[in-house]
Amino acid sequence: MNRKTYNAAKKTLENNCYAINLHNQLLRRTLPSREFYVHQWNWDSATHAMALIHIDEMRAYEEIYSLLSGQWVNGLIPHIIFNPSETRYFPGPDIWDTEKTSGTTIATSGITQPPLITISAFYMYKTAKDRNQARIFQKNVIPKLVAYHEHLKKYRDPENSGLLTIIHPWESGTDNSPRWDNVLQQIDIGSIPDRIKETVNEGRTDNKLGELDDRPKVYDYYRYLYLTDLYKNWQWDFVKIVRESPFAVKDILFNAIWCYANDSLAQFLEETGKGKDAKKFRVWEQQTRDAIQSLWNSHSQIFKLINVTQGKKISIYEDTIANFLPLLAKAVTKTQLTQLINQLLDPKKYWSPVPLPSIALDNPKFELTRYWRGPSWPITNLLIIEGLRNYEMSNPCKKLQLKIIKKTMSMIEKYGFSEYYNPYGENTYTKRKTLGFGSFSWSAAIYIYLAHEYKLITF
Ligand code: DGY
């Protein structure tokens, strides 16, 4: 651990902080990057709070309160809570048009993101030094988290399979991962109205503020916006959306986090003596774990996804970083564990000079710089580090976990707080070592979290 980087990480989180007046209360929240992501993002904030709890407990709570301020009356916690004074980001509030259905006056998007917020909130509660404040936080957030979980279960798993359905690639947090290619290709570009294409061509800012080669392609954006337009026209009726949308997928990353989030929520409730209320979430946790286990294909050594669009049931096999997320859900057998470790440590697959790439290096769809189609991301490294923790009694797991922690921290020390990183580091065809947008909050937050949680710094 490097003290200079640690201090710079704190500074980055300070610089990216802004206060918002919500019902006459000033709440501090953290934007992901001033270069582009100028609002509040759901799983980014959940990650920020896991670091903030170590450096400023009140600010960590405010981060979560601010995120929850955008919760809909039906329980949804949206993926973006907009900052009313910012216009730089596309697609902004007018594209989503959620205010009529959300039941809140706060402008938000209409989709969600992996439910890391529950895991983060329980972690904050366990870690906080001021126990009084921690209990106040616990009292405030539990009903909202319960409502969120009930919302997800009701609307995203109507068939009670144990696996939630996501309705937009953005809900996975891994927007342009090849996991969505086959599903998205079924949306014929020719059938997308010109007005949507024009909105994208005129409105899109990510490709102008950032590098074109780092970002999703224009056809991805046409389809992303086609979906949001459809849902807006359906007035965010999630029963209809899940049934009729041209994009409905049981994703492995989202569901692994869902499984772990139910464990966190159950523990959170048990802590307050509400063991009876916790039971339901324990059942959901185990149901999802069993369902994830049934997705394993021993030949390809991949946990498949299921495309459930409009009643279909089509398996998707794609070799991406999401394949390791079942570790987080404790959904991995001994044999699978060995096979997954071998894949992670294979220099032809995931053990690149700057690991872990977002898709296997030998996946023909690998692209060095493009967002979730190759680059290494601190967030997925973190989720895998935490996943390996579930198996740390096994020596190879413990060793690998420490290696990934070390590599993640030195990647950040060497290349700064980028959104994502070139998996080949210096030794590469491109001169650019850092990718995406800069001064990125969750890269800073993950550095701080790892330093504290794994006791790599003496205070
Ligand atoms: C973006 O705009 O790139 C986000 O990932 C969507 O939330």
175 is catalytic: yes
Residue 341's pLDDT band, with cuts at 50, 70 and 90, is very high
Q: Which atom of ligand 1 is nearest to the CA of 371?
A: 3
- For residue 404, the model assigns a pLDDT of 98
419 is catalytic: yes
Q: Indicate if ligand 1 lies below 6 Å from the C-beta of 175.
A: yes
How close is the Cα of 170 to the center of ligand 1, in Å?
A: 6
Q: Which atom of ligand 1 is nearest to the CA of 173?
A: 5
Per the residue annotation, which of 57, 97, 251, 419 is the catalytic one?
419
Average pLDDT, stretch 274-295? 96
How close is the Cα of 454 to the center of ligand 1, in Å?
A: 30
Per residue in 228-241, pLDDT (tens digit) is 999 999 999 999 99
Q: If DSSP codes are grouped into helix, strand and coil, which group holds residue 350? A: coil
Among 54-68, 153-167, 203-217, 315-329, name the one with the lowest average pLDDT: 203-217
Q: How far apart are CA 107 and CA 94, in angstroms?
A: 9
- For residue 394, the model assigns a pLDDT of 80
Give the pairing of strands 305-307 and 314-316: antiparallel
| Burial of 186: CB neighbours in 10 Å, binned 0-12, 13-18, 19+ | middle
Residue to probe by mutation, ligand 1, list 86, 175, 211, 371, most atoms within 8 Å of CB: 175
Q: How far apart are CA 73 and CA 68, in angstroms?
A: 11
Nearest CA to ligand 1 atom 6: 170
Radius of gyration of the chain (CA): 21
Among 73-77, 99-103, 417-421, 454-458, name the one with the lowest average pLDDT: 454-458
Q: Indicate if ligand 1 lies below 6 Å from the C-beta of 57.
A: no
How close is the Cα of 176 to the center of ligand 1, in Å?
A: 10
Per the residue annotation, which of 62, 175, 251, 263 is the catalytic one?
175
Q: What are the helix and strand counts (H, E) for the chain? A: 18, 12
Query: Longest Cα pair distance anywhere in the chain, in angstroms?
Result: 59
Residue 427's pLDDT band, with cuts at 50, 70 and 90, is low
Q: Are 24 and 96 in contact, with CB atoms under 8 Å apart?
A: no
Q: How far apart are CA 412 and CA 377, in angstroms?
A: 10
Nearest CA to ligand 1 atom 7: 170
Q: How far apart are CA 373 and CA 17, in angstroms?
A: 29
Residue to probe by mutation, ligand 1, list 80, 170, 204, most atoms within 8 Å of CB: 170
- For residue 459, the model assigns a pLDDT of 63
Is the pLDDT at 442 greater than 80, yes or no?
yes
Q: How far apart are CA 380 and CA 169, in angstroms?
A: 16
Q: How far apart are CA 45 and CA 29, in angstroms?
A: 8
DSSP 188: -
Q: Which atom of ligand 1 is nearest to the CA of 215?
A: 3
- For residue 430, the model assigns a pLDDT of 63
Q: How far apart are CA 229 and CA 200, in angstroms?
A: 12
Is the pLDDT at 302 greater than 90, yes or no?
yes
Is the pLDDT at 369 greater than 70, yes or no?
yes
How close is the Cα of 106 to the center of ligand 1, in Å?
A: 19
- For residue 88, the model assigns a pLDDT of 87
Burial 327-349 (b: 16+ CB within 10 A, else e): bbbbbbeeebbebbbebbeeeeb
Per residue in 172-206, pLDDT (tens digit) is 999 999 999 999 999 999 999 999 999 999 999 99
Q: Are 343 and 336 in contact, with CB atoms under 8 Å apart?
A: no
**25/313: higher pLDDT:** 313
Mean of per-residue pLDDT scores for the chain: 96
Q: Indicate if ligand 1 lies below 6 Å from the C-beta of 171.
A: no
Is the pLDDT at 371 greater than 80, yes or no?
yes
Q: Which residue has the tokens 């032809």?
A: 348
Q: Are 365 and 372 in contact, with CB atoms under 8 Å apart?
A: no
Average pLDDT, stretch 56-72? 97
Per residue in 241-268, pLDDT (tens digit) is 999 999 999 999 999 999 999 999 999 9
Among 273-282, 337-346, 388-397, name the one with the lowest average pLDDT: 388-397
Per residue in 97-128, pLDDT (tens digit) is 999 999 999 999 999 999 999 999 999 999 99
Is the pLDDT at 270 greater than 90, yes or no?
yes
